[in-house]
């Protein structure tokens, strides 16, 4: 890859090697929901926060307000003006409908650095079209009476391929391909800091690449659906979900091979099953530590 954006270089200059060696890495569940309009769960979004710097994966609905709530709860790196790095797993609407919010709300609230966005092919086109749609708003905010920091409205977007896609003094980020039904390009991400390795699945059917990417990682954040609830779904939805998502039974098999120190469930499709039933389903095939992720949980 020709370059990993000037922002990466800037981060390297600002952060020191000594701070990287003393890094503190948190996994913050900004949104654990699905396309279902559950008022208790925002859309999929996970922040990996290292030395009070936030690296966000996906931009489901509600992502910015959940970040603000996390900051209010003490996660300094998730304050809105610090939302400067975003990694998209794929372009399904429930993972991207918060993208305009992620671009513009922090800019209005005095983000003073460009936003960097990385994602599969199609990410740059989506971002460019959003910027075009909001061009009148941008023009008025920058050239009208409202105080503004122009750099906060700069957006640098890059379509990426599997491999190392980002690196600064805090973290190395690797994208890897996952199987998400008929999507040509869907990624998971591996974050390597000085003290932890975090792997985030995004949406996917069972993918061997998850096992390879985790390989004893500290935290594996993985989507899941309940086999109990699945049995009650109509045949056409069973066909869809079995090709696009991972069942509790399948996830137990993946985790048993990947061996994460902690498995965190998100994007949980229950269809009438309970949290306890889902955990029990996974426990039948996996004896490791499992957490049912809720919005604003921190690991």
pLDDT in tens, 272-289: 999 999 999 999 999 999
Residue 3 lies in a domain: no
Residue 220 lies in a domain: yes
Residue 14 lies in a domain: no
Distance CA 299, CA 296 (A): 10
Distance CA 244, CA 207 (A): 11
CA distances to 12, 17, 164, 172, 268 from 168, rounded to whole Å, are 5, 10, 11, 7, 32
Determine the pLDDT at residue 147: 85
Distance CA 281, CA 285 (A): 8
Residue 2 lies in a domain: no
Determine the pLDDT at residue 299: 97
Residue 4 lies in a domain: no
Of 263, 193, 219, 214, nearest in space to 50 by CA:
193
Instruction: Tell me the average pLDDT across 157-174.
Output: 98
Residues belonging to the chain? 299
Residue 16 lies in a domain: no
Q: Which domain holds residue 124?
A: 24-292
Of 68, 90, 66, nearest in space to 200 by CA:
90
Return the CATH number at 204. 3.60.15.10
High-pLDDT (> 90) share of the chain, %: 89
**Tokens encoding 93:** 């609407």
20 pLDDT band, cuts 50/70/90, is very low
Residue 15 lies in a domain: no
**Tokens encoding 212:** 């390879």
Instruction: Tell me the average pLDDT across 209-230.
Output: 97
Of 62, 13, 9, 58, nearest in space to 40 by CA:
62
Residue 39 lies in a domain: yes
Pairing outcome for strands 290-292 and 163-167: unpaired
Domain total in the chain: 1
* 155 touches 131 (CB < 8 A): yes
Q: What is the pTM of this model?
A: 0.91
pLDDT at residue 12 tops 50: no
Distance CA 49, CA 18 (A): 17
22 pLDDT band, cuts 50/70/90, is low
């Amino acid at each position: 890859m020709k370059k990993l954006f000037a922002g990466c270089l800037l981060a390297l200059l600002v952060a020191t090697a000594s701070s990287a060696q003393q890094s503190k890495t948190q996994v913050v569940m900004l949104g654990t929901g699905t396309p279902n309009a559950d008022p208790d769960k925002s859309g999929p979004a996970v922040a990996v926060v290292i030395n009070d710097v936030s690296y966000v994966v996906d931009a489901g609905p509600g992502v910015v307000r959940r970040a603000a709530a996390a900051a209010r709860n003490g996660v300094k790196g998730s304050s809105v003006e610090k939302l400067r790095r975003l990694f998209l797993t794929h372009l399904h609407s429930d993972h991207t409908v918060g993208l305009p919010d992620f671009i513009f709300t922090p800019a209005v609230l005095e983000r003073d650095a460009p936003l960097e966005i990385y994602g599969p092919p199609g990410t740059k086109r989506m971002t460019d079209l959003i910027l075009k749609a909001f061009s009148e708003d941008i023009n008025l905010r920058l050239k009208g009476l409202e105080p503004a920091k122009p750099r906060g409205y700069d957006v640098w977007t890059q379509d990426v391929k599997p491999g190392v896609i980002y690196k600064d003094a805090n973290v190395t980020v690797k994208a890897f391909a996952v199987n998400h039904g008929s999507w040509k390009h869907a990624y998971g991400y591996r974050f390597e800091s000085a003290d932890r390795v975090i792997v985030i699945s995004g949406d996917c059917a069972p993918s061997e690449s998850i096992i390879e990417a985790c390989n004893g990682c500290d935290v594996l954040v993985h989507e899941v659906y309940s086999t109990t609830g699945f049995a009650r779904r109509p045949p056409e939805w069973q066909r869809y979900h079995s090709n696009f998502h991972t069942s509790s039974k399948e996830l137990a098999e993946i985790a048993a091979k990947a061996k994460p120190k902690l498995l965190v469930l998100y994007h949980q499709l229950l269809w009438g099953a309970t949290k306890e039933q889902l955990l029990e389903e996974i426990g039948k095939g996996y004896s490791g530590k499992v957490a049912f992720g809720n919005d604003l949980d921190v690991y």
